[in-house]
Amino acid sequence: MPKKVVQVAAIMLLGLGCGHESAATQQVRSAAAVDLDCDVSMIEFVDDEAMVKRVTGCGRTLTYMSKCNATAGGGQDCRWKAVRDDSNKLN
């Protein structure tokens, strides 16, 4: 299993202890910790909207958007994906 996948899984498990945060917030915080190479406790939300979340951590910022795909049976599989464009400062 790739190292990044293991890191994300471990961070997500740690985030489950934060019962006061929504599942979306926990998912974005965990993903941002890996993407920004920053401790999860350092991740702060700048903008927190229903489908777009902008976070900052360790001097960098990143925007996440919810992307949904249709699944068999008429359901949806939604995941938070980092937006890779010029508005993000991933130095």
Let me know if residue 89 belongs to a domain.
Answer: no
- Rounded to an integer, what distance in angstroms lies between the CA atom of residue 11 and that of residue 87? 25
DSSP state letter for 74 = S
* Domain membership of residue 17 as a residue range: 3-82
Classify residue 62: in a domain, yes or no. Answer: yes
Domain count, the chain: 1
Tens of pLDDT, residues 43-64: 999 988 888 999 999 999 999 9
Q: Are 27 and 14 in contact (CB under 8 A)?
A: no
Asked if residue 53 lies in contact with residue 24, where contact means CB atoms within 8 angstroms, the answer is yes
Query: Which of 2-6, 21-25, 57-61 has the weakest average pLDDT?
Result: 2-6
Question: Whole-structure pTM over 0.85, yes or no?
Answer: no
